[in-house]
Structure 1
């Protein structure tokens, strides 16, 4: 039997799947990768899938969710031209990554605008929202690990073991240090340059690697690790109210 006030958000990113359980409007559990069991979370009334993966991957994941929770109602969310009072700036709204879309919806509703959302994972994303709730656009650059792996894969002699990587003080004097510190400096420089142009906005950080970057900079920011999940919940709630 489904729990009437329980919602499971499934955020399928480029490298991992993140699960967030809501009871009403409160987050009560979260984890990554492995599919949750009924023993852990019961049977949520609603399950929301927000994915940046291919249609084939989504079909496999949806089938797995359905087998695990046959009594739950499964909803799929994509980026739209407008949702929950936030306007999408893209000419083709569906091409804005749904993770970015949901994060800015939650950020605007919780914190107001103007704001900048930094989400650092496989890629580092920066999105801008006006005081009126208009998504102005944003940037996507490679994440630190992606920058490092690209250097290794595209060069013949940049090679090192993971154990060699340290964040040294001063100018790095090893290949491992040169790559790791260099990629970190590139990421920090990207964010710092944006801040110099938009320092009057509220700054928010979400995603796995965002805090590690932001705490190295002299930027006042708010850490909210659950913006994507919260945005999905906002969209589902609006959808369910509209269906009544």
Structure 2
């Protein structure tokens, strides 16, 4: 069994693979403070819930954009699985050239998504991840990550509105029945959701215009499903894209070690 872990700013997602099959996945909040013992209890609980044996874990790979939780999390993994994870970062084999000004600045999650989208769906491909931030990454036909765009996620936009306007309530992020909203809650929902739909559509259109050729658009992330039916240019929504990308990178590095 291969364990893959995506440590995001808001949530951490854990997936378990048997061969190439993702057999189960779990999520927990990243920012909740935890000791290594608490992480160990969390991992043990997941395995007990799905009646899986921690001893069956052969290796672990992690992509993290939250460095300050990693010491305790890794020690928690060691206590449960007896293994130190492979971490996505400088020096790891991804099979993907990063043609940015400074490749070390590109988040591990973006690299993993780009690897997954290219390997699973081909290139050229534009990869969208609707997470804490919304990212747009262009992978060319040769499998190189060439350019990207990053914006505040829709939840961050909503939080900024609540925090900076004293009389506005906290609301659920969902599309109202009509953009012609008639009360404060639906006014806010219309602005957030329809405004974000417009932003996503415009950025995709402008990036595709600059790319200058037909490109597949693949989306993932917590809010991705909301925009799948609203943005015509999104071709594929794959909610497990990051976990699949971690497995692909794991296998590339395993094959590299075996050749040595």
Pick the TM interval, shorter chain. Answer: 0.7 to 0.9
1:5-154 aligned at under 5 Å gives the runs 6-33=1-28, 35-37=42-44, 38-39=47-48, 40-43=51-54, 44-54=57-67, 56-70=68-82, 72-78=83-89, 83-154=93-164
Cα distance in 2 for residues equivalent to 1:164 and 1:52: 24
Q: Contact 1:45–1:73 at 8 Å: present in 2 too?
A: no
The whole-number CA distance in structure 1 between the counterparts of 2:172 and 2:252 is 49
* TM norm structure 2: 0.83
4+ aligned runs moved over 6 Å, structure 1 = 163-166
Give the gaps of 5 or more residues in structure 2. 30-41
CA distance in 1, matches of 2:228, 2:131: 13
Whether 1:183 and 2:155 are equivalent positions in the alignment is no
Structure 1 contact 79–98 (Cα < 8 Å) conserved? no
Q: CA deviation at 1:84?
A: 3.7
Q: Does 1:193 align with 2:205?
A: no
For 1:139 and 1:154, the matched residues in 2 are separated by 25
Name which of structure 1's ranges 7-16 and 175-184 shifts more when overlaid on structure 2: 175-184
Bigger strand fraction: 1
- Answer whether contact 1:21 1:27 (CA < 8 A) is retained: yes
CA distance in structure 1 between the aligned counterparts of 2:61 and 2:145, rounded to whole angstroms: 23
The 2-side partners of 1:21 and 1:170 are apart by 42
Moved more, 220-229 or 107-116: 220-229
Partner of 2:216: 202
CA RMSD of aligned residues (A): 2.2
Q: How far 1:148 moved relative to its partner?
A: 0.9
- CA distance 1:221–1:164, change in 2 (3 Å): closer
Q: CA deviation at 1:201?
A: 0.7
For 1:41, what is the secondary structure of its paired residue? coil
Check the 8 A contact 2:179/2:194 in 1, yes or no: no
Offset of residue 123 of structure 1: 1.5
Higher helix share: 2
Structure 2 residue aligned with 1:213: 227
Say which SS state the counterpart of residue 132 (structure 1) adopts: coil
